[in-house]
Structure formats: structure tokens, C-alpha cells
Amino acid sequence: MVPKNGHGPLGVHLGVGQRFDDAVAQAKLLGITCCQLFTHNPRGWGFAPLDEKSLAKFRDDLRKAGVSPVASHCNYLINLGSNAPDIRAKSLACFRQEFPYARAYGCGYFVLHVGKHKAQSLDDGIKNVAAGINSCKDVLLKYPEITLLLETVAGQGSEIGRDFNDLGTIIALVDKELRPRVGVCVDTCHVFAAGYDLRTPAGVDAAAKAMDAAFGLDRVKLIHLNDALKEFNSRVDRHQHIGEGFIGAAGFRAFLNHPVFKPLPKVLEVPEDEHMGYAENLAVVRKLQA
Ligand SMILES: [Zn+2]
Ligand SMILES: [Zn+2]
């Protein structure tokens, strides 16, 4: 399906695994124009060997289907906010490996949960994240086609990135040469749970202004489009179908048609249940796009 006038690409988080042809068939069935995927098990440190032949076909098939951009999402174990030697070594090794895998899957973006500061202060956690990214400078320079996106978070526990300014500080601490390679992925559910009210046009506009002040709107490259299962400012990361959660249809209408967010690529990460799946959620979004 061709995106509506002025609206950016719209897609979903595609389950790929090793079933490349099935994933492409699903993309076509849903009529999506961008997507996100995991290049390896999101709950493990390991990476399966790259199936170069199948991946070349996969990249080609997605391109022919008009699915672009493609984003890779990090696994859930990476924590660059920690300075505990074991977790830090594993996180950095995994972070480095994500880039060649993202390239193999044809991704232009790699979305990172920056991590948790745990027993350390938030400031120390932020410094750990920036130092971690800087220590992988060689990898970022080796893969110039992949932009690293720091994701906004709900702020569960000691998660870093609840306040837009935390992401702004990380970017400011990143090596100057790498800074143009770092952007932001805005998740609507997380932002709302973190205390930025997206229920009205004025709220959406205020959130955009806060992003601009913290890191600059040019850095926002990708949107995770999710409604929130929990109330405003809950700090709980639980996604809901678009229009059925606490952000609601009016909030999404305001967000989707806001001049800043309208042209950006958006991927859904909503639950798939007997009530609604991706197809139904995409239909709701398309209806809300003016
Ligand atoms: Zn995420
Ligand atoms: Zn989430």
C-alpha cells in the first residue's frame, strides 16, 4: 500500500527468524512500507551464522516490495549503562556484533535500549553508555550506512532514557566524529508512560518541543507506534492496540498528523491477540492519518 500524501512509511516489527520468505510474504500481505526486525534471539547473547545467500534474496525481496527503511532492534540483554565487568564485556561484544548483522539484513538503523544504571547513579549510568559507544568507534565507522538510534524508554526500574535530556546528554558525550551517526527512536507508549502527555495536540506539540530542546528534532529518525496499557506517567512499559489504550485515538490522530512526526517512518509493536493483530492496527492508523 502506497503511503498517504505526506505521511512517512508505515510498518510493523516483523518476526523473521530464519523464515525469510514467510516474513516477506507477511510484509506484502500487510502492505507495509517499512519494518523492524531482530537479527538474532532477543533474549540471548548468541548469533546464528549468517545465511548470506538467503539474506541477499531477503534484502532484494524487501526492496522490491517497497519496504524501506528496515531497522534492527537490539536484544533485551545489552546494558551499556552498567560497569559490572561481566555484563559490560558481554554487552559491548554483542553491541559490536549487531552492526554486521544489521548490514546483512539490509538495515539502515540499529535501535538500542541504552540500559540501566542499577546501583549506580543515573549520571554514572549515562557516562557508562557514552563511554561504551565511544569504545566501539571503529565499528560505527566501519558501518556508515547504519545509524545508531537511542530509544526513549518508559523508565521502569533504573532504565536510562526516560527523560529526553538523558539521551541528549549521552549524545553530547559521544565522540564528535560519531555524533552525526547517533539518532533517536521515539516510542509513543514509552514517552507517555515516562510523563510526556500525548493525548492532545498541545501535549504532542509540547513533547516535540522537549525533544528539540534535549537533542534536536533532526535526530528523530524512527517512531515506535504503540498505545499504552497503563495510565499516563505510569513508568510501565506495556503496549496496547492503537486507540485502545490510555493515549487513545484522539492522541494518535494528533501525533500522526503533527508536522514533525507525520513524515517519519513508523513501526507498530502492538500485541497480536484474538481481538486485533497487525492488520487491524494498521487499518486504525491509516484511518487516523488525515
Ligand atoms: Zn525497543
Ligand atoms: Zn515497550
147-151/182-187 β-pairing: parallel
Residue reference for cell 497487525 = 278
Distance CA 235, CA 231 (A): 9
Name residue 141's amino acid. Answer: L
Mean pLDDT of the chain, nearest integer = 97
Which fold does the domain 10-288 belong to in CATH? TIM Barrel (3.20.20)
* CA 35 to each of CA 70, 183, 184, 212, 269: distance values in angstroms, whole numbers, following the listed order: 5, 17, 16, 25, 10
* 111 touches 161 (CB < 8 A): no
| Catalytic machinery residues | 43, 73, 76, 113, 151, 187, 190, 224, 237, 239, 269
If we measure between CA atoms, which residue out of 229, 220, 203, 230 comes closest to residue 262?
A: 220
Per-domain boundaries in the chain = 10-288
Averaged pLDDT for residues 118-122: 95
Which ligand sits nearest to residue 75's alpha carbon? Answer: 1
Nearest-angstrom CA–CA distance, 59 and 106: 6
Nearest to 189 by CA among 120, 108, 87, 268: 268
Quickly state the pLDDT bin for 5 (edges 50, 70, 90): confident
Minimum-distance ligand to the CA of 13? 1
Cell numbers describing residue 172: 553530547
Give the pLDDT confidence score for residue 212 in this predicted structure: 98
Output the pLDDT for position 136: 98
pLDDT of 83 reads 94
| Axis-axis angle for helices 278-288, 248-256 (nearest 10) | 60
Residues, CB-to-ion distance under 5 Å, ligand 1: 151
Ligand 2 centroid – CA 158 distance (Å): 15
d(CA 251, CA 204): 8
Q: Output the pLDDT for position 4.
A: 67
The cell numbers describing 283, all together, are: 487499518
What is the CA(85)–ligand 1 centre distance, in A?
24
Residue 108 is predicted with a pLDDT of 98
Grid cell for residue 17: 527468524
Q: For residue 182, how far is its CA from the centre of ligand 1 (angstroms)? A: 16
**Strand, helix or coil for residue 12:** strand
| C-alpha grid cell, residue 154 | 518508559
